[in-house]
Amino acid sequence: MEYKSLGRTGIKVSQFCLGAMMFGGRADKAVSIEIIDYALEQGVNFVDTANGYTGNESERIVGEALAQDGRRDNIIVATKFYMPQGDDINEMGISRRHIVKACEDSLRRLKTDWIDLYQMHRSSAVIPIDESLRALDDLIRSGKVRYIGGSMFQGWKIVESLWVSKELGLNRFICEQPGYHMLDRTAEREVIPAAATFGMAVIPWGPLCGGLLTGKYTRDSGPSDGRWQDGKDNANREVTPLAWDVLDLLRTMADEKGCSVSQLALGWCSAQPGVTAPIIGPRTLEQVTDNLGAVGVALEAEDFSRIDALALPCSATVAYYDKARGLDLRAHDHRIVL
For the chain, percent of residues with pLDDT exceeding 90? 82
Partners of 149 in the beta sheet? Answer: 119, 175
**pLDDT value at residue 325:** 57
Mutual angle of helices 129-141 and 96-110, in 10-degree steps: 40
321 within some domain? yes
> Which residue in the list 53, 82, 217, 321 is annotated as catalytic?
53
**Which of 277-281, 300-304, 320-324, 332-336 shows the lowest mean pLDDT across its residues?**
332-336
Report, as an integer, the average pLDDT of 107-122: 97
The CA distance from 137 to 46, in Å, is 22
The CA distance from 330 to 52, in Å, is 18
pLDDT interval class at 231 (50, 70, 90): confident
99 within some domain? yes
Partners of 77 in the beta sheet? Answer: 47
How do beta strands 3-5 and 115-120 pair? unpaired
The CA distance from 268 to 272, in Å, is 6
- What residues make up the domain containing 308? 3-331
**pLDDT value at residue 235:** 79
Residue 294 has pLDDT above 80, yes or no: yes
The total number of structural domains that make up the chain: 1
269 within some domain? yes
CATH of the domain at 184: 3.20.20.100
pLDDT interval class at 338 (50, 70, 90): very low
Report, as an integer, the average pLDDT of 223-235: 80
Mutual angle of helices 96-110 and 57-66, in 10-degree steps: 40
pLDDT tens sequence across 23-78: 999 999 999 999 999 999 999 999 999 999 999 999 999 999 999 888 999 999 99
337 within some domain? no
The whole model's pTM is what? 0.93
For the chain, percent of residues with pLDDT exceeding 70? 96
336 within some domain? no
Residue 337 has pLDDT above 60, yes or no: no
111 within some domain? yes
DSSP H or E segment with residue 99: helix 96-110
pLDDT tens sequence across 131-156: 999 999 999 999 999 999 999 999 99
Report, as an integer, the average pLDDT of 68-90: 92
DSSP H or E segment with residue 253: helix 241-257
**pLDDT value at residue 323:** 72
Catalytic residue at 118?
A: no
Report, as an integer, the average pLDDT of 176-197: 97
226 within some domain? yes
**pLDDT value at residue 311:** 97
The CA distance from 237 to 16, in Å, is 25
